[in-house]
Amino acid sequence: MSRIAQIVSTARYLPEHVITNAELTARFTALGKPTVIDRLAARSGITQRFYVPGDWVTSDLALPAAKEALKRAGRKPEDVDLIILGTTSPDYITPATSVVLQHKLGAKNAGTFDVDCACAAFPALVAIGAGLIATNAAMKTLLLVGVDMIHRLTDANDPGCFLWSDGAGAVVLEGGTEAGFLGAAFQADGAYASGWGILAGGTFEPASIDAVKAGRTQMRRKGANYPRTVNEDNWPRLFRRLSDQCGFSEDQVDQLLFTQISKSSIETAAERCNVPIEKCHMIMQKYGYTGSACIPMAFDDAIELGKIKRGDLVVMIQSGLGWNQAAAAIRMTV
């Protein structure tokens, strides 16, 4: 009998240190940019963001969410067969952050690997996990973690720091016979890869004193070389592809979770997908943009608020730089 991947539990973690828009406005007013934060807030809906303590790394941020997801699933760390972690802000270039998390969690029986889709990771994690569960009977309990600490990799005097909030979301995925995972779809356009990102520190330009001084080891956007409407233009196209492949219609979708970076983009995309905005849960207004963590965090938040329940069809669409987009659909069984 085939095994279908099912979400057993979800969890999220948000640090305690809050940075409000008012604090950023004061900073950028002193830098001669008094209106920049208000403009960014008007489009995005973001009002605050959360930062980890100064001595934390990304694996530390992932740990509380991972522990809580396992607790809610009634599983112990040693029950985990595989940890798949998505992040754009790893502890190191190598080794993988997932293997560091495995040690901190005490998941001594788990294998691990990272997925880097530049913030589009979580639907990919679900799709990969579902494929492994369907094809490998030894894969019984998988821990999926989306986590980012991108604020640590930004320039505090660059208005782009407005977006980034630290956060983590985790899911326990197991196999069953009920309808769960339905399918996934992906799309990308690498022509824009140099338009926004951290472009030094890899093999294109190894880290150097010059690169650090010039800010090339930090997150930077070259506005002229990155499409401002990439999400609202392409999310609906990916939604249609996924719905066609999986055989569902827009009126059958109970929640459509988009990357939590812009309220106005989500509103436009929802209309183009013909899905009521009430079915598109948003968290960026209270949590900020948490990168790879935003979809699992929104998922967990929606469950907590009663917006997602057993039997619901949930579609998630996530974006990353490059540009790179991933989508997955799953029927809830808990």
> What is the pairing mode between strands 4-13 and 167-176?
antiparallel
Amino acid at position 236, single letter: P
CB atoms inside a 10 Å sphere around CB 61: 28
Question: What is the DSSP pairing of strand 196-197 with strand 220-221?
Answer: antiparallel
> What are the residue ranges of CATH 3.40.47.10 in the chain?
4-178, 182-331
pLDDT digits (tens, 9 = 90+) for 65-112: 999 999 999 999 999 999 999 999 999 999 999 999 999 999 999 999
* Residue 98: per-residue pLDDT: 98
Give pLDDT tens digits for 237-290.
999 999 999 999 999 999 999 999 999 999 999 999 999 999 999 999 999 999
Quick: pLDDT tens for 9-39: 999 999 999 999 999 999 999 999 999 999 9
- What's the pLDDT tens digit per position in 32-61? 999 999 999 998 999 999 999 999 999 999
Which of 99, 122, 100, 93 is closest to 12 using CA atoms?
Answer: 122
Neighbour-count burial for 302-324, b at 16+ CB within 10 Å, e otherwise: bbeeebbeeebbbbbbbbbbbbb
**CATH superfamily for domain 182-331:** Thiolase/Chalcone synthase (3.40.47.10)
DSSP assignment, residue 153? Answer: G
CATH number of 4-178: 3.40.47.10
The pLDDT assigned to 151 comes to 95
Do the beta carbons of residue 207 and residue 332 sit within 8 Å? no
